[in-house]
Amino acid sequence: MDLDVVGRMLSTLPADDDHPYRTGPWQPQTTEWKADDLQVVQGEIPSDLDGVYLRNTENPLHPAIRNYHPFDGDGMVHVVGFRDGTAFYRNSFVRTDGLMAEQDAGKSLWAGLAERPSQSLMDHGWGARGRMKDASSTDVVVHNGVALTSFYQCGDLYRVDPMTTRTLGKETWGGAFPFDWGVSAHPKIDDATGEMLFFNYSTEAPYMNYGVVDANHELVHYTPVPLPGPRLPHDMAFTENYAILNDCPLFWDPEGLAQGAYAARFHRDMPMRLGVIPRRGGPDDIRWFDCESTFVLHWVNAYEDGDEIVVDGFFESDPSPADNGMGDKWQRAFRFLANDRMQPRLHRWRLNMVTGLVKEETLTDTISEFGMMNGSHAGRKYRYAYAATSKPAWFLFDGLVKHDTWTGQEQHFRFEENVYGSESAMAPRVGSTAEDDGYLITLTTDMNQDASFCVVFDASDITTGPICTLRLPERISSGTHSTWAAGTDLPQWDQADDPATTVGL
Ligand SMILES: [Fe+2]
């Protein structure tokens, strides 16, 4: 492995930190690495794996003003690039305005999710709550050859070089970016049209907007999606002709909001509503469908099937688990991150555009979340979903599950004890013909070896374990959202001897 340190950030976290989401498998990094020719510790790098796996990470650098929540950490992007049977790695902090201001101050300046905005040391900020730091740490997608990082509470989209992870600046769309509300995490990429679909939300009416950016990088559509009040949407879906937005009955308590408190409450007596809007439609075109009450954090995919819109996502049986007194104080405080408590299961909603009726079915008993699929099938009929299983009581992924939505069959893979994965992206094999003809890629945090690895599975059969394991320079913090971008979708990928050192985006 050819290894260089290319940067370091100031951390003021104490050596005796005891927060479980800043220690152990969530121990943040401060070092930015440049590594070429990654060491293969098992198997062989497939020669028909060509492109980049990108993963975002919440990576805190300072103690919180009062209470740290793992979604507050600063964004760090990791990339593992594959080309010609070799692999490289880079990682960088996303140079957000908030990160750079806190580096200068040497401390946290903004209140986080487990704090009130009024506790913020700054009178300005970002996000639907306001006076929060836009850490750009939630999601990462690649649109028009550039990686875009995003934040779940809405904020800027930061442009990141998908080969070097270097921050290139903020997305502006020629000045048309909705700077007032920002953009939520989970913009969606339609490979077939080159469009990016997105939404944002706020405590101000109309509470949600939806937009489309075309393959020429222009904001070509932006429309209000009026909701009954402030909501906490996290993800969206789309089909060939429609975008699917949601109004889940888990939202900030209005009485608390009036006092400056942001406490999310689940309303079991209210339906979840799915809104279907033509991709270039306006507020009068939205069709709302009442569904069984739940909160859906992530959708896997959606597609049109005759008169029906099929939407797959994770139905939570208990979106707001009560404190049952079980576990230590941290497990009780962070029970909203424990999938064994919220019990998300892959679920299918069929929305009939003619009759207005909804049919629902749970596709599996397996509790899983963070579903991915072959991106070239996004918005179209698809078969396979790849998701993560979780360690009970913790926000840690202990295994993978591949679900066949046609047959209901599942494949499982479980990491060794004390080894945790991240969201696993599906990378189609160069020249692939079948939907699952490719590779499933994830990064692990291995507490047994005090190391991290990039592991590559054969997506057609994950049960046999990794076909290739690559060592990263150091153990990285656990993290979640990821994406895959083929080399053919990246500028200059084929024009340079070393794509990871190319500049010019
Ligand atoms: Fe998410």
Q: Which tens digit of pLDDT belongs to each residue from 191-202?
A: 999 999 999 999
Same domain, residue pair 250 and 179: no
Last residue within a domain, chosen from 370, 392, 414: 414
Query: How far, in Å, from the CA of 186 to the mean position of ligand 1?
Result: 7
* pLDDT score, position 502: 59
Binding residues: 186, 234, 298, 481
Query: How far, in Å, from the CA of 402 to the mean position of ligand 1?
Result: 19
Same domain, residue pair 220 and 180: no
Same domain, residue pair 301 and 392: yes
Query: How far, in Å, from the CA of 141 to the mean position of ligand 1?
Result: 12
Query: How far, in Å, from the CA of 420 to the mean position of ligand 1?
Result: 18
* pLDDT score, position 491: 87
Same domain, residue pair 123 and 230: no
* pLDDT score, position 331: 92
Query: How far, in Å, from the CA of 55 to the mean position of ligand 1?
Result: 12
Same domain, residue pair 177 and 204: no
Query: How far, in Å, from the CA of 185 to the mean position of ligand 1?
Result: 7
Q: Is the CB of residue 390 less than 8 Å from the CB of residue 404?
A: no
Residues 155-176 pLDDT 10s: 999 999 999 999 999 999 999 9
Does any domain span residue 455? no
Q: Distance of CA 340 to CAs 81, 243, 412, 470, Å?
A: 33, 30, 17, 30
Nearest to 221 by CA among 299, 278, 181: 278
Same domain, residue pair 89 and 207: no
Same domain, residue pair 152 and 230: no
Same domain, residue pair 337 and 209: yes
Strand partners, 482: 55
* pLDDT score, position 494: 84
Does any domain span residue 432? no
Last residue within a domain, chosen from 397, 414, 431: 414
Q: Is 413 helix (H, G, I), strand (E, B) or coil?
A: strand
Same domain, residue pair 166 and 264: no
Distance linking the first and last C-alpha atoms of the chain: 27
Same domain, residue pair 107 and 173: yes
Nearest to 476 by CA among 435, 419, 429: 419
Domain that holds residue 249: 197-414
Same domain, residue pair 230 and 377: yes
Residue 132 CA to residue 452 CA, distance in Å, equals: 31
Query: How far, in Å, from the CA of 425 to the mean position of ligand 1?
Result: 14
Number of domains in the chain: 2
Tell me which amino acid residue 184 is: S
Residue 123 CA to residue 34 CA, distance in Å, equals: 37
Does any domain span residue 427? no
b/e map 423-444, b = 16+ CB within 10 Å = bbbbbbbeebeebbebbbbbbb
Q: Is the CB of residue 8 less than 8 Å from the CB of residue 29?
A: no
Residue 162 in tokens: 């998908």
Query: How far, in Å, from the CA of 152 to the mean position of ligand 1?
Result: 7
Residue 95 CA to residue 311 CA, distance in Å, equals: 35
Binding residues for Fe cation: 186, 234, 298, 481
* pLDDT score, position 117: 92
Query: How far, in Å, from the CA of 480 to the mean position of ligand 1?
Result: 8
Q: Which residues of the chain have pLDDT under 70?
A: 502-505
Last residue within a domain, chosen from 379, 414, 449: 414
Does any domain span residue 449? no
